[in-house]
Amino acid sequence: MSDAKEKTYRIQGLTCANCAALFEKNVKELEGVQDARVNFGAAKIMVQGGVSIEDIEKAGAFDHLRIRDEKDQRVVHIPFWKQKENVKVYLSAILLVLSWFMGKQYGEEHLLPIIGYGASMIIGGYSLFLKGFKNLRRLNFDMNTLMTISILGAALIGEWGEGATVVILFAISEALERYSMNKSRKSIESLIDLAPREAYIRRGLDEILMDVEDIRVGDLMIVKPGQKIAMDGMVIKGKSTINQAAITGESIPVEKNIDHEVFAGTLNGEGLLEVKVTKRVEDTTLAKIIHLVEEAQAEKAPSQAFVDQFAKYYTPAIIVLALLIAIVPPLLWSGNWIQWIYLELAVLVVGCPCALVVSTPVAIVTAIGNAAKNGVLIKGGVHLEAAGALKAIAFDKTGTLTKGIPVVTSIVTYQGKEEEIIRIAAAMEKGSQHPLASAIIKKAEEKGLNDHAVSVEDFQSITGKGIQGKVNNEIYYVGSPHLFEGVHTNIMNEVKETVTRMQGEGKTVILVGSEKEILAIIAIADEIRESSKEVIGKLHEMGIEKTIMLTGDNPIIAASIGKEVGVSHVKADLMPEDKLKVIKELQSTYQGVAMVGDGVNDAPALAAASVGVAMGGAGTDTALETADIALMSDDLLKLPYTIQLSRKALKIIKQNITFSLAIKAIALLLVIPGWLTLWIAIFADMGATLLVMLNSFRLIKIKTG
């Protein structure tokens, strides 16, 4: 294992998958480079070893690639019509048209149109010929080699006009490919542009406008109304609403007060905020999202691996077929050599694997980018495809189907006033560590009850049952029904019936009483998310065969919540290892199984599932690192959207592969009656590429909700 440092660079102008492979090969051959990997989707290269940017640029000079440091996130946009490669196409097209008119006037065999066609071919195909000749010397038969042989072959047999036309149409095809690839990367570029590069920092009494690179953890950032937030941090002063759509995909702004977390790239509303910076610019949630999405685009999906493998055999097969077409008919059936060589050249043009090579990566880059803009982080093409093939989905209960925050749902009083009972219970619960204590304290706050005025003496925690304490010289108990069975030998039937009914509704029951009598019953429940029932219903409509809720809660509460949200099965009283066992059992029955949780608990189950989906990934490093898919907000409605996007992406990838092969197959069949021309060949190649691109862009239109 080498200890050489690995550095990442951004590539400007990388739009061709074959060129990416050649560029990677060239960089690997540079002196001092031990390894290099090109991420075509994200237009980045990882280089291991000591090498300068200038040397890397020389390795990409064949395709006019420009290299810049990864931290330099400025995206240089040159209007499509002004790009240098396209200017050459305009000039070449003008010469082609002029030559055509001269051919009509003086005849196709005249020197003037031939010179014009030749000039058009050289100007429009100069870079193509350079690549083609280099590849020919190395016996590397890619699309540039095939096109070079075809165009020069057309000139040699006197088809100057068709040769020049093929050059221009191929150049147009490449221009469209550049435009399409750049468009599919726009979603990531828009993420990069989200966070401002400067922020106001207060140091001492001064407010300084600083570059984000110079801002340190602990600095005080001033965020004015209407400004974008430049860094992740914690609000220490002020109140406002923040539009977090860029990070979480939430359409409704979120209220932020003191001690609330804010993220870089989000938009401040009307309030003035003072924010303590908690992360450096390279560690912000937005930076992690960008990094993970770019890494995801480098991962090859199973369909892409198939296409790459297929292309290895496809191109040599086309070359062999073309040679047979040129040689066999003239030798065996005394065919016209010029006619069959012409058909051979047309077959080579048809055989260019452009459309096939881009059929998968463009769809994957577009889908993953669209998901990121909508608050869903899909960490690779393999997970994108797996999500589209899901048949069963398991949900953790707490924090996933429910909000994970216990609240008081109802109070039944038997003796005394409700407000006084709640005040006493809240005062006693302040000394408790039980998770349900917060629900009672919060209820007292909502009612505006001053529990601070209540003095609790001789406080004692009764393990597993509840608490007791003395208020105004009288002993009170707050706890489970089991606690009161020990305190009161006879509990009223009315109380027992109410407790049984509430537990059957999935609520946790807390009793409040004195040594003499039971004063009240407090029902507490973990609130179900408003969207849970809708999401489960949508998943069943989409054809998910089984939805199952996994929880450590008791079976009565679990069954009640499961029935309310509509899952098909419920498993209760589970430890983390039990959840893992359930996932493995599901996988033996169903091919595709997802586990949806919070990304912190149930890590084994998330890892074992075909797709691990983490809820609320924003600001949660564990969720971003462990999950295959992270829903950046706590919005469960993102799950049906993700499955829909994945299925659509799978469908489009299959369509793209079918389109690209079918169009070429139809064009090749035209060889039999001798109808295939260079014009038809290049239009078939360009048409297939354009069709694949446009089809992939349909993924941009898929929205949440």
Which residues participate in catalysis according to the annotation? Answer: 396
User: What's the pLDDT tens digit per position in 297-316?
Assistant: 566 666 766 776 776 777 77
Domains of the chain: 6-69 (3.30.70.100), 198-283 (2.70.150.10), 404-527 (3.40.1110.10)
Contact status, residue 28 vs residue 51, Cβ threshold 8 Å:
no
The pLDDT score that the predictor gives to residue 186 is: 65
Bridging pattern class, strands 569-571 and 546-550: parallel
The pLDDT score that the predictor gives to residue 398 is: 80
Mean pLDDT of 525-551: 91
Q: Which of 80-84, 149-153, 168-172, 206-210 has the lowest mean pLDDT?
A: 80-84
Work out the mean pLDDT of the chain and round it to a whole number.
83
- Percentage of the chain surpassing pLDDT 70? 89
More confident residue, 671 or 188: 671
Mean pLDDT of 539-557: 89
Opening angle at CA 259, ends 258 and 261, nearest 5: 110
Q: Token pair of 207, please?
A: 């407010």
Mean pLDDT of 7-21: 79
3-state SS string for 344-408: HHHHHHHCCCHHHHHCCHHHHHHHHHHHHHCCEEECCHHHHHHHHCCCEEEEEHHHHHEEEEEEE
Mean pLDDT of 234-263: 86
User: What's the pLDDT tens digit per position in 175-188?
Assistant: 776 676 666 666 66
The pLDDT score that the predictor gives to residue 1 is: 41
* Whether pLDDT at 570 is above 90: yes
The pLDDT score that the predictor gives to residue 222 is: 95
Q: Which of 168-177, 410-419, 534-543 has the lowest mean pLDDT?
A: 168-177
The pLDDT score that the predictor gives to residue 628 is: 86
Bridging pattern class, strands 402-413 and 273-277: unpaired
Contact status, residue 603 vs residue 626, Cβ threshold 8 Å:
yes
More confident residue, 627 or 564: 564
